[in-house]
Structure 1
Amino acid sequence: MSNMHSRPMFDVEALRRGVEERDAATMRSLYAENAQMTVVDQRDQPSHPHQISGNSAIGEFFDELCSRDMEHRLEQVVVSADGSHAAYLERCRYPDGATVLATSMLDLRDGRITAQTSLQAWDEESGGARPQDAPAAAAEAAERVEHLDFGKPDEVRTFDHGRAEILNVGGGIIGRLVLEPGWRWSRDVKPLAGTQWCEAPHFQYHVSGTLRVHMADGTEFDAKPGDLTMLPSGHDAWVIGDETVVVVDWQGAVHYAEKS
């Protein structure tokens, strides 16, 4: 117990100060030397995200970002009890009123960020770009606006107690998983996958129902409506209760439940 409590914890107040005061040096100090940052947005789809490697490059990213005339607000931060993961929600506003909303999932070690995956969304009139290249991307984004509906998916993959609805958008694939009460991956999808564990990494937003996730290392937790989960390969999952689970998956739907 004493070792757990003596482990360095993530400095949430430093994160708040760095974000809201646009303090690039403070933001850089939160990252490990070999940290990796992944950004997914309308320009950089999950199949080819924007990758930034190393503390130095991440520092340059924040130098540019913090130099912009924008208002930043940290709206919510959650840190796991063991200090190994965190997530936060950030809202940014340009002087013209255009808003960017970013959700970030963090892997932590010794109180520092070792890996970060951020999902960004913005007002369409802003042009849909990362802060450092917004003007150049505005025309490009306008030329390839896509408006799709999961009610009319490009493909539906069915399996016992559920289905995966697939949309091809922006050069990538997004899936909506609809999992009925009684569904369990190791019973209903494992025969299709042919692997001991689900090997598809997921980056998901949970719309409804409760999904219990069991990782190969023994970690287990429940994901509920409003949660974001980023799951590496090696897990099982099943529906809890009598409500259908619906999740939107930006990463793991490419080959999910495909029949050979």
Structure 2
Amino acid sequence: MDAMQNRPTLDVEALRRGIEERDAATLRSLYAENAQMTVVDRRDQPSHPHQISGNSAIGEFVDELCSRDMEHHLEQVVVSADGSHAAYLERCRYPDATTVLATSMLDLRDGRIIAQTSLQAWDEGSGGVTPQGAPGAAAKAAGRVEHLDFSNPDEVRTFDHGRAEILNVGGGVVGRLVLEPGWRWSHDVKPLAGTQWCEAPHFQYHVSGTLRVHMADGTEFDAKAGELTMLPSGHDAWVIGDETVVIVDWQGAVHYAEKH
């Protein structure tokens, strides 16, 4: 009995503070190094859920969520008596009044999250920002027009053989990656990221050039102009040929190529 009482359990107040104050650092600290997250929503349905592996990649996801202009409320939290499982209900509200209700099941070890499965339900007919960061119609519905131009970005992050142009729009972040011939992530961005593979998940449209993508599992393919790619964490990529690669990224640009 005493051993069970002394076992570390989920820090519910830290969870509440992280969610309601959009404190990304606090939320990051709740996940184990090898944690796994699965998200099911209107785009990533049960047969093809959005899966994120590892504290670093989950941290990128959390950072992007916390950067959005929206309210979060933790409504209920239940922790099992032995501290091995927990569940919570969260209500999110965008500036245009679009509401999202999410429930999460957690597997815990020593008080930290080792696995999380989240189910999200959106207001019917809403066009808000998806959990992966792709802006929809909610910003328009809010009565505020946003007309932006990558020629005048909010931020430009430079690295060898390329740059990332960043726009803050619709409560999220959209990036345009301009990658010159000779660019390779493992040569030019890896020193900034400090990870073995690119851990930023991407949802992107290829405007020009040819990009070869090599996944950590050995899968390799070329992405060309006019194509759409959705990449999970764990990949390398490089420019093929003499044409500059230009990509518009709705998901992975939040902290891409930031200097630490």
Give the Å deviation of 1:176.
0.3
The equivalent residue for 1:40 is none
Q: 1:219 matched to which residue of 2?
A: 219
Q: Mapping of 1:230-241 within 5 angstroms?
A: 230-241=230-241
Q: Quote the residue 2:146 is aligned against.
A: 146
Indicate conservation of the 8 Å contact 1:190/1:197, yes or no: yes
Residue 181 to residue 145, structure 1, CA distance change in 2 (3 Å): same
- Whether contact under 8 Å (1:36, 1:51) holds in the other structure is no
Aligned-residue CA RMSD (Å): 3.9
Q: What is the CA deviation profile of residues 100-126 of structure 1, one whole-angstrom value per residue up to 9, with x for unaligned ones?
A: 9xxxxxxxxxxxxxxx979675xxxxx
Q: Residue type of the partner of 1:218?
A: G
Query: How far has the Cα of 1:182 moved from its partner?
Result: 0.5
Residue correspondence of structure 1 range 162-181 to structure 2 within 5 A? 162-181=162-181
Post-superposition offset of 1:168: 1.1
AA at the equivalent of 2:227: D
Where do 1:9-158 residues align within 5 Å? 32=46, 47=65, 128=137, 140-142=141-143, 144-158=144-158
1:232 aligned partner, one-letter code: P
Residues 149 and 218 from structure 1, CA distance in 2 versus in 1: closer, same or farther, beyond 3 angstroms? same
Which residue of 1 is the match for residue 182 of structure 2?
182
Identity of aligned residues (%): 74
What is the DSSP-based 3-state SS (H/G/I as helix, E as strand, rest coil) of the residue aligned with 2:192?
A: helix
Shift of 1:141: 2.5
Cα distance 1:147–1:180, how it changes in 2: closer, same or farther (>3 A)? Answer: same
Over 3 Å counting, the alpha-carbon distance change for 1:52 and 1:220 in structure 2 is farther
Structure 2: distance between partners of 1:253 and 1:176: 8
CA contact (8 A) 1:161 1:183 kept: yes
Counterpart CA distance in 2 for 1:161 and 1:35 is 34
Q: Is the 8 A contact 2:208 2:224 kept in 1?
A: yes
Match of 2:142, SS? Answer: helix
The one-character-per-residue Cα deviations of 1:126-180 (angstroms, maximum 9, x if unpaired) are xx35xxxxxxx87x422x2111100001111100100000111122111100000
Deviations 1:166-213 (A, max 9, x none): 111122111100000010000011111111111111111110000000
Q: Which residue of 2 aligns with 1:246?
A: 246
Distance change >3 Å, CA 240–CA 145, structure 1 → 2: same
**TM-score, structure 2 as length reference:** 0.51
Q: How many residues were matched structurally? A: 159
CA distance in 2, matches of 1:231, 1:33: 17
- CA displacement, residues 210-237 of structure 1 (integer Å, 9 cap, x when unaligned): 0000000000011111111111111000
TM-score (norm 1): 0.51
Amino acid at match of 2:241: G
In structure 2, relative to structure 1, the CA distance for the partners of 1:141 and 1:160 (3 Å cut) is same
Q: Secondary structure at the match of 2:187?
A: helix
Q: Which structure has greater helix proportion? A: 1
Distance 1:188 1:35 in 2: 31
> Structure 2: where are the runs of 5+ without partners?
1-41, 52-63, 69-93, 95-99, 104-118
8 Å contact from structure 2 (residues 133, 172) kept in 1: no
Note if contact 1:36-1:52 (Cα within 8 Å) is conserved in structure 2: no
CA distance in 1, matches of 2:210, 2:235: 16
CA distance in 1, matches of 2:172, 2:214: 28
The question of whether the paired residues in 2 share the 8 Å contact of 1:209 and 1:243 is answered with yes
- Give, in whole Å, the separation in 1 of the partners of 2:48 and 2:181: 42
- Residues 239 and 218 (structure 1), Cα distance of their counterparts in 2 relative to 1, 3 Å cut: same
Counterpart-to-counterpart distance in 2, 1:35 and 1:164? 28
In structure 1, stretches of 5+ residues that fail to align are 1-27, 38-45, 66-99, 101-115, 122-127, 130-136
